Amino acid sequence: MLKLIPLPAFEDNYIWVLHDAHRAVAVDPGDPAPLAAFLDAHGLALAALLITHHHRDHTGGNSWLRQRYGCAVYASHNAAIPAVTHRLHGGNSVNILELDLHLEVLATPGHTLDHISYVGHGCLFCGDTVFGCGCGKLFEGSPAMMAASLDAILALPDTTRVCCAHEYTLSNIDFAKTLDGDNPALLERERTDRDLRAHGQPTLPSTLALEKATNPFLRFHSPDMTAFAARYLNRRNPDPAEVFGAIRGAKDAWDG
């Protein structure tokens, strides 16, 4: 059984590591230092990096780690991502034979156009697509594009462990309460996650079941969020992509 570990990096990033007694894979090591320290402390070889998108806080470690460990580097076709050895599209799979690890690649554009996510071992490595109780900003994609990406994620099993690249959960819960303050699952999550953060623990991974129950950005098909969007857009019967866009717009305004 592989172990799943979130390594804190920068202010609020997580580098996700899956490892056995000998080898590891890591997702989005924007800063190579915490990953190298972890690998060295546990005597682990680095088999591969899995990169979700081109932002520097996800790719900054690629060149140094590839040089030091000779690891494979998986990423999308965006040439801006450095040191890539294997280029991926949605629908491809990644097989890390040394770890007996098999992952499927989901195209999840929206935050960026090149964003991909990795699914396997009961985990979703979703980079900046889904956050705890939130989702990534639309820097490059449209609301319809992100809604389609989130639909692909919603089709995964409820037990999937959601491994996000940032610890934004508490502030996302603050926003979610402005839309959905009567949702008992959200209020329960707030108690649990505030307690975790008070003890210096990550709120992640969450589960897809928990995100479906509490994350407004995954609830854009729900009557509650559709009613919110109709008020926000001052228009009847918004379609699901418009509902998603309204929630994203409200969050961007709330962020200021």
The contact set with Zn ion (CB under 5 A) reads 55, 128
For residue 127, how far is the Cα from the chain centroid? 3
Picked from Fe ion, Zn ion, none, the partner binding residue 114 (CB below 5 to 8 A depending on kind) is none
Interacting positions 48-107 with Fe ion (CB under 5 A): 57
Nearest alpha carbon to residue 37 among 52, 50, 55, 24: 24
User: Active site includes 128?
Assistant: yes
Q: How far is the CB of 9 from Fe ion (least distance, A)?
A: 10
User: Active site includes 53?
Assistant: yes
- Of the candidates 28, 31, 114, 128, the residue annotated as catalytic is 128
b/e map 10-27, b = 16+ CB within 10 Å: eeebbbbbbbeeebbbbb
Contact between 167 and Fe ion per CB under 5 A: no
Contact between 242 and Fe ion per CB under 5 A: no
What phi, psi does 19 have (nearest 5°)?
A: -150, 155
Closest to Zn ion by CB, 58 or 66: 58
User: Active site includes 22?
Assistant: no
Q: How far is the CB of 59 from Zn ion (least distance, A)?
A: 10
Cis peptide preceding 216, ω within 30 of 0: no
Residues 51 and 71: their CA atoms lie apart, in Å, by 13
User: Active site includes 58?
Assistant: yes
**At residue 20, what is the residue type?**
D
User: Active site includes 166?
Assistant: yes
* Residues taking part in catalysis: 53, 55, 57-58, 111, 128, 166
